[in-house]
Structures are given as structure tokens and as C-alpha cells.
A and B are shown apart, each in its own frame.
Chain A
Amino acid sequence: MGKNEIEAVLMSGNEACVEGALLAGINFFAGYPITPSTEIAEGLAERLPRVGGKFIQMEDEIASMAAVAGASLTGAKAMTATSGPGFSLKQENIGFAAATEIPCVVVNVQRFGPSTGLPTSPSQADIMQARWGTHGDHPAIALMPASVQESLTLTITAFNLAEEFRTPVILLMDEIIGHMREGIVIPRKGEYVIKNRAKPTVSPKEYLPYGAEPDGVPPMANFGDGYRYHVTGLIHDETGFPRGRGSDGDYLVRRLVNKVMSRLDQILMVEEVEMEDARLALVACGPVARSAKRALILAREQGIKVGLVRPITIWPFPEEAIKAAAQKVDAIIVPELNLGQIALEVERNACGNATVHRLNRVDAELITPDEILAKIQEVK
């Protein structure tokens, strides 16, 4: 093969996630097997020790999330991967990582629920859980890949966002992308950006582990580097030690949320297709967006001006993109593999400027282009 030729490799979304994590510089993974995410753990069990990284299968998902946070505190780039019931178990420690600002990546390959549900079937029903799964107000960043290629690139992005914002980032995959095989291109060095958490530039004496502007991200020292600082899930001040006043809670919670909400331009990724002249918009994520793209083409062949808005970043929700779309079109259709979660956000942001129509499937099958086309014809 010539030097400049692109090398495409066939792999699944779960395998691509492993490749992306390795490119991002992962050196710690803790997990617990669960379908349909297990291939990620298996892949990293094999690959991590070959690059000097650590893999551990913990006794459950609670422990996996805890080990990931502990490892990250020593400076490791750490990740865990799970599905459905396992994502539920991780929630308390995801909140701990959010409150204590520990960077880490949590992959949730969504499966059909509730409970054990249909373990090998796809779903998009954890969208609200990815936002509000842990208790209390907290920041949330979640990304939804729509292809195997994107599973790789968004895994790198997830690590970068976690490091930059010192917060857990959720890669909200699903069974379809996780298990689907596609040809993808593994980017070469220099073709992707790697970001690392900011380290303190002051001596341990002067270090304020949680000292930052009201919307800032504090620099993070490694455990073991001599800073000898304290980390607690209690409300704490800039020194890291507990503070019991309501006003301290107010300051910390607002800063945690604002550090994310004040930099949306660095986080929000939205794909728009043929929105320029659209009279009707589809809003779809993950694999459903692929059906939507096909439906868009079919509709345009019939002279119906349809566009697509695909949130790649689902949290924080790309409110402005939806607001702008609603001002442009008469109607929005939201196809999703649940009983209406993305639709709630779309309805909220449409502000009555466009009618919002739901299209839902919870029978373990992907919504087809024909179904979306039929809905387009119905509401146009």
C-alpha cells in the first residue's frame, strides 16, 4: 500500500472505542462484564498491559467506578464501560467524581430496559439518566456516536473534555453502534488533539486544590506528588476541606455547573444536514440519525424540504441549535428509541415556534427510514 493511501479497518463500535481510548492515552480501566459493552473491557484487558497500563475487573460496577476515580487522582487517564443495570450502579460514584472534579470517562452502551430488560437489544432510554442519574445538581457532559468511526473519535473527545473540565464525561453509545461493524480509519498521530488536565504551577504550600474563578476549572495535583491535599464529597471550599454553610454549597454547586455551561462552544457538537431551506426538521441522535438521513433524502425526492439536526453532544443539550431550527421550520419530528426523552428537550427549546412530533419505538428495533418518511408525510 502506498504511503498516502488511507488504511480502512473493519471493526465494531466497541472495538473502535478501545482504539480511541488508547489513542487518547488511557492507562487505567476498571470494569465489570455486561452485555452489550463487554468487548470494551475485553479489548482493554488485552491491550492495556502491552502499553504499561492497568486493567482490573472489579467485583461490581460500583467498585469499578470507584477504582477509576481513585486511579485518576494519581494522574491516570481512566475509563470504565458498562450498560443498563451497570450504569445505574455507577451513579453514586459518578456524582462523587463530579463533586470532587475527578476527570474520567464512563461509556454506557445503552441496552433495552428497564431492569434486565432485553439485554442484547438496543435502546436510547438512558438519555435522561446520563443527565440526571446521580443525585443533586451537577454538571453533565454526554456524547452520542452515530457510527463506528465516531465511536473512536468521540472516545478521544470524551477523554479531552474530561481532562479539560475535570469532570466525568459519558460516552452514550448503544447496542447498535457497539456491535455494528464498519470500515473505519484509525487516525495517525498529529491528526487528532490530545488534552491533559492542568497541573498546579505553585508549591504545595500555596496550592489551593479547589481554587478557581466562579466558573473556572482548578488545576489538579496527582496523589503522590507531594501536595498532600484533601478530597471529599462533602461540600468543600477552595482548600478542599468541608464547609457546612449553605453559602458554600451555593458557591460550589454553581461553579461546578458554570464551568461547563460557560464554555459551551468548546463542548457542543451538532451536525446539521440541509437545514438551509428546510420547512421540516428531524432531530435525531446515534443510529436513529442514520435512518433520519435516509428519510431526508427520500422526502426531498418527493419535493418535501426536510432538514436534520443531529446533537452529537446530547448534554449539555444544544439548546441554541434547536431554538434556531424551530424558528426556521414549521414542524420538528423527533424519532428516538424510547418513549420520548430527547423530545422533552426539543419541545422545551422549540418555544412554540414549531410544532414538535414524536416518533418512538420500544420494540427493540431501529426506527426505519420508511417510518420516518411516513411521519414526515403525515405532519408536513
Chain B
Amino acid sequence: MAMKELLTKYTRMDKLPHIWCPGCGHGIILGSVIRAIDRQKLDPGKTSVISGIGCSGRAPGYMKFDTLHTTHGRALAFATGVKLARPELNVIVLTGDGDCAAIGGNHLIHAARRNIDLTTVVFNNYIYGMTSGQYSPLTPHMKLATTAPYGNIDQSFDLCNLVTAAGGTYVARGTVYHTQMLIGLIAEGIAHKGFSFIEVITHCPTYYGRRNRMGDAVDMMNWQKEHAVPVKAAAKLPPEKLEGKFVIGELHRSEGPEYTEEYQRIIDRLERE
């Protein structure tokens, strides 16, 4: 679909301009989600897009679906209610690295464990953008943040590994630099029945880039290009060659009973009895 058609079909043009800073990567993720929705031909009237609080949390406001901007960290819990109450809806969750890994970390683990059919897209800019640059659980060790003025002594963690271990059945990582791949990964996540999780590496030139002297938005996207290793290439590399890099592509896929279908089976069984 041509850009203009896409925009009028799926976005609330009257809500523009958006609130994001010049150079922010969040808009690229928004565009990729819309293209993935279009590729999967989802019925816009049967699709809910749900977010938490943060710069990322503002994305659904620009999207022409039923959209729900919830409380900080709780998007997956609200989405669980929407999906379980009305399983025929497509439910997409847009969340930030702080929203989903810190305050919402527990909900992430349990949504993955239930394998409930939600597609979760994490806008990972390695920082708390909305609140002006505090460290998140994904801020790398010794990077600077307003609350880590001497370097971040926290250890960051790998959300994709976490979701895989917790029971998510589709796990992928992309970047806003590799846009075509990203659209494909999100589209696959939407098509997958079960809990789908796509971590997207994006950039916050305003708070993360500036403080850590990573240059402007273009420099930060170049950083993504240079540090991303496609999953096939990564498989052939020894671990030391992957030091400081991150793997992109489809990282995990498995089959498992989906939560709302399991519940329906109980309803059906009781009805027969």
C-alpha cells in the first residue's frame, strides 16, 4: 500500500504532529507496526492497541484502532483482560524498556508464561525517555544517565532470553535501522498464535545519545547497523566475537497451548457435561 493510503487508513492524521523529539526512533516503530498490521490484513475494527506510560506509550494515540493508553507498566495486564474477555480481537501491546522491564517486568513474565495471544513490541531506547533520561533495566553497564551520573552500576539483562525462558512462543529482535526486517518480524509476531515478543532497538538522541556522546540520530542508527548481528551469522560466531553486539532476527519459535483457547476448552467441556 502506498504511504498516503497507509496513513489515512491506519493513522489519526489529525493528531499530528506527534510529541516525539526530532530524530527519535519511535516513529519508525509505529510505522513498522502499521505496515505489519496491513500485511496481515487485520480488521481495524477488531484490533486493539494497548500501551503503558512513556514516550512509547503515546504511539497508540496516533493509530486508528481501539486504543488504550494505560498506567505505567500495566499494558500487558490490561491487554490480558481485553483478550480473555473477547478472544476474537487482535491485541497488540506497545511498551517501553522501562515500562515493560522494570515496573511491568512481572506482567511480562506472566503474560509469556500463559502464552496468551498478544503481540508485544518493546521500544528499547535503553533509557527512560519521557522522564528525561534516567537509567532503565536495559541501560548497559557504566553508561550514563541522569540517575547514574558516575556510570550505571546495574547489570542490564536480555529481555528476549527472559521471555523465552518464561514461556513466550515467538521471540524476535529488530532495530529501527533494519526497517524491512522489522516489519517482517512484527508481522510474524501478529500471525503467530500465542505470546509474541519483539524487542526493537531504537535511539533516543535527546537523553541517551547526547549524555553518552553517541552523536546524532544518524550516528545512533549507524551504531545499530554496526552492532547488530543477524541470527544466522551469530550462530557461526564464537561467543567472544559477539561481545558488545546484539543478535537480530527470529530468536525463538515454539508451539504451545494458547491461554484463551485453553479457557474456551473448559467452557466447552462444562457445557457438554
Contact = CB atoms under 8 A, between A and B. Distances in A.
Interface in B39-67: 44-46, 48, 50, 60-61, 64-67
A66 B71 contact: yes
Contacts of A59: 77, 106-107, 109-110
Counting contact residues on chain B (CB < 8 A from A), the size range is 35 or more
Contacts of A60: 106
Given A54-B263, A59-B107, A70-B79, A231 B85 contact: no
Contacts of A359: none
Contacts of A226: 45
B46 A224 contact: yes
A226 B47 CA distance: 9
B124 interface: no
A227 B66 contact: yes
B272 to A, nearest CB: 12
Interface stretch (A71-79, A163-171, A292-300): A71-79
A242 interface: yes
Interface string A28-54: 101000000000000000000110101
A78 B71 CA distance: 19
A229 B74 contact: no
B85 A78 contact: yes
A93 B71 contact: yes
Interface string B57-97: 00011001111111100100111111111101100000000
Contact of B84 (A50, A67, A222, A242): A67
B233 interface: no
A225 B78 CA distance: 18
B69 A74 contact: no
B69 A223 contact: no
Interface string B23-50: 0000000000000000000001110101
Nearest to B61: A230
A73 B70 CA distance: 12
B85 A52 contact: no
A30 B110 CA distance: 14
Contacts of A69: 70, 78, 81
Contacts of B50: 70
A49 B263 contact: yes
Contact of B70 (A50, A78, A96): A96
B78 A67 contact: yes
A231 B82 CA distance: 13
Interface string A212-244: 000000000011111111111110000001100
B81 A71 contact: yes
B66 A223 contact: yes
Residue among B46, B81, B266, B267 with the most chain A CB within 10 A?
Answer: B81
A223 B86 contact: yes
A66 B89 CA distance: 18
Given A49-B270, A59-B107, A60-B106, A71 B85 contact: yes
A58 interface: yes
Nearest to B86: A74
A224 B270 contact: no
Contacts of A231: 67-69
Contacts of B109: 59
A60 B103 CA distance: 13
Contacts of B66: 73, 223-224, 227-229
Nearest to B88: A224
Interface of B: 15, 44-46, 48, 50, 60-61, 64-71, 74, 77-86, 88-89, 106-107, 109-110, 263, 266-267, 270
16 contacts: A28-B85, A56-B84, A58-B80, A59-B77, A59-B110, A63-B74, A67-B78, A69-B78, A78-B85, A224-B46, A224-B88, A224-B89, A229-B66, A231-B67, A232-B69, A233-B71
